[in-house]
A and B are shown apart, each in its own frame.
Chain A
Amino acid sequence: MITDLSRLIAAALTVVIASTLIASLDVRAEAAEVLLPAAPGVLVEVMLGAMILSAVVVGAFLIGRRLHVHLSGPSMPVSGTGTAPPLRPAIGPGLVVIGAVAAMTLAMALDVQIGVAVAPVGVLLGAELLARPPGPLVWSVWVGGVVMWLAIVIITGLGQHHPAAFLIGLGGVFGLAFGVRWMALRVANSAQAHWEQLRRFDARRRAEWIHDHLLSEVSHTILAMRARPSVDHEAVARLQAMDHRLRMVQLDEVLSVGPTRVASILQPHLRWAEAHGLQIGTTPSSEDLSARVDPTTGQMLSHVLSVLLSNAANAGAGSIGLELTVHAHEVTVALHDDAGGFDLAGIPIGRALEELQIDLGGDRIHCEPRNGGSVVTVRVPRGLLIGRSGAVRRSVDRVVG
């Protein structure tokens, strides 16, 4: 419906611009005779040009504003349910052709300069180009369309014996089309940036809400239940599981805001380990954890920690130690346990660990026995997308937020 509305507005705009231009010619002629009888032809042409330019600028502005609404209108990110609206053409190709033919016919019928006639076509074309990524195929189609249109302009110009019409038509169509595209893209980019800012704000607000309202309540309930003379261990365990899930949701929200400190990723996992009775020995220092990682790396790191700690807990570990080092190209996680929970050679290994091995590639997980337990070291690549096939490829479109 919005696209239809945009088309309707664009069509109405075309008519308004064309009518204004044509009317301005008559007014110009009459005004020039009455007010500026001695005005040189150049001055009149300049006035005419200024009026055309004003009409085109107003038209482009209106279309750009419409596009702004079009971009940010369909989904309100503050609601938390919005998705990024795609850039879509506000005007369909059919309307461009119809508008071009109509303007041309009108121009020829009224014997108006070709340059005037092409103004609305340039505006329409520019608005349409806005939604088109500059891929070679799309550009060739559009350039082909413009060349066809110019051919009509040239033939008409020759028929009217106005050779200057060629240049006016050429400059008019290209200049206006690219001008409108440039202008509207600026509006669109600004709308996109605004949307992104709102999305981050919204994610941050949700994370804060989880922290301030949900988690504090859950923590309190766990404490209150534990303080009772007869503790319902099953209910406490369920609440602890809920607490961890909420912290994971909170972490997802934090990661979606942007690069996140490794300490923030590690912290909920340490809480989980402590809640599950694991004695935490060595932990990385704040200095080790002060680095920030991009959201993709952060999510993978969180997944790795989750798998390693739950394997240790399932293997019956009583105490664990954790080392975590952030390098330029990877993050190394080493988990020590006293239960031998990471025997990769053993059959069967944990399903999650097996999947992790597939996700990261076998050479990124290393396991060795130590002091009656085992140490598993996982190297998580930074800024990389990790495919299910085990192949690691560099992220081209870095996920931001």
Chain B
Amino acid sequence: MRILLVDDAVSLIRLYATSIEQRLGHRVVVAHSPREVVRLWEPHGRGRDPEAVSDPFDLAIVDLAFPRERDTGLSALHFIHSHSPQTRLGVLTQGDVWTEAVLRDAWELLPIQLLLSKGGDLDRQLESINRIVQGGEVEVDPTLRPLLPTTANTWRTPQSFRRLVSHQGHAKLWRALMDGAESPTYVGVAQACGLSVNTIKNYRSQLVSELEFHGLEAAGLSEMRDFAQRCRPFLEPYLLSR
């Protein structure tokens, strides 16, 4: 069995890798960032995994927070799922306020089968990993359970992001928010888009009700920016098509 571990905490991931290899006997490939994950599937160059296509990973366990990276673990999970749909997906997280939204997005938008809480009992975690790679199921870690919705939001799918980019103006708005400042203003966004402030306000009004399906209540520009950055991999295909 082959397992991919993705985390920027080098010593932590080494500990997991060693434990999995020595105690479970599975092969482990490590990546330290979402960018390194992309490189694994590249046909040439350093950092590629020659077996990524011929022998897909059985399980990928990905951390959600990468403070030094533009992307979150959600991007890595999305990439892995789109390039290797048979790979089971797992998340390794501290599961606190900073990763709560990303965790919920990952849970709702991707088929996550394993949730591991950093700092939890290693023996139990190894048991869960083994059960998943053998094709079984495991219960969600109780410390992470409160962060997850109990009922599946069937409406919310990767395809539902299409409705957030109805036309080129929306695409400009999302692009400006994704690449813009931490505290976006209407004037700043309008300048970045080359549109008037009133137009930006209109676009936001058009999107507010749609964003509620994604769990954002009466989202302002700051919330929209956070959402856009978090869900970049799901929004980006529709931005490019506009």
Contacts and interface: CB of A to CB of B under 8 A. Distances in A.
Contact of B146 (A220, A226, A289): A289
A380 to B, nearest CB: 17
Given A220-B12, A267-B96, A226 B122 contact: yes
Interface in A196-229: 197, 207-208, 211-212, 215-220, 222-224, 226-227
B22 to A, nearest CB: 10
B59 to A, nearest CB: 19
A211 B95 contact: no
Interface stretch (A163-171, A257-265, A352-360): A257-265
Contacts of A280: 142-143
Interface in B135-170: 142-143, 145-151
Contacts of B149: 285-287
* Interface hub of A243, A247, A260, A263 (most chain B Cβ within 10 A): A263
Given A208-B98, A226-B121, 10 more contacts: A215-B119, A216-B12, A219-B118, A222-B119, A263-B146, A267-B97, A270-B142, A286-B150, A287-B149, A287-B150
Contacts of B121: 226, 274
Contact of A220 (B15, B104, B145): B15
B19 interface: yes
A14 B167 CA distance: 59
B65 interface: yes
A268 B142 contact: no
Nearest to A254: B97
Contacts of B117: 271
Contact of B19 (A227, A260, A281): A227
B100 interface: yes
B11 interface: yes
A211 B12 contact: no
A283 interface: yes
Contact of A211 (B98, B143, B150): B98
Contacts of A310: none
Interface string B7-27: 001011001000100000000
Contacts of B104: 286
A280 B95 CA distance: 16
B143 A261 contact: no
A284 interface: yes
B120 A267 contact: no
A266 interface: yes
Contacts, number: 94
A250 interface: yes
Contacts of A263: 100, 146-147
B162 to A, nearest CB: 26
Nearest to A222: B119
Contacts of A222: 119
Nearest to B118: A219
Contact of B119 (A212, A254, A271): A271
B45 interface: no
B118 A268 contact: no
A216 B149 CA distance: 25
Contact of B11 (A215, A220, A271): A220
Contacts of A215: 94, 119
Interface in B104-125: 104, 117-122
Interface of A: 197, 207-208, 211-212, 215-220, 222-224, 226-227, 243, 247, 250, 254, 260-261, 263-264, 266-268, 270-271, 274-275, 280-281, 283-287, 289
B119 A219 contact: yes
B58 to A, nearest CB: 23
A219 B97 contact: no
A243 B95 contact: no
B45 to A, nearest CB: 29
B18 to A, nearest CB: 8
Contacts of A274: 120-121, 142-143
By Cβ-Cβ distance, the 4 closest A-B pairs, closest first, are: A219-B119, A280-B142, A220-B12, A264-B97
Given A220-B11, A267-B147, A283 B122 contact: no
A128 B15 CA distance: 65
A248 to B, nearest CB: 12
A207 B151 CA distance: 30
Contact of A261 (B94, B95, B97, B142): B97
* Interface hub of B65, B94, B120, B148 (most chain A Cβ within 10 A): B94
Contacts of B183: 197
Contacts of A268: 96
A261 B9 contact: no
A179 B96 CA distance: 49
B97 A207 contact: yes
A51 B234 CA distance: 61
B69 to A, nearest CB: 12
A217 B146 CA distance: 24
Nearest to B16: A223
B15 A285 contact: no
A220 B148 CA distance: 24
B146 A267 contact: yes
Nearest to B183: A197
Contact of B150 (A217, A243, A267, A285): A285
B146 A212 contact: no
A220 B151 CA distance: 33
B163 to A, nearest CB: 23
A218 B118 CA distance: 10
Given A212-B67, A267-B147, A260 B122 contact: no
A270 B119 contact: no
Contact of B12 (A207, A208, A219, A266): A219
Contact of B9 (A207, A216, A271): A216
B146 A284 contact: yes
Contacts of B148: 286
A325 to B, nearest CB: 13
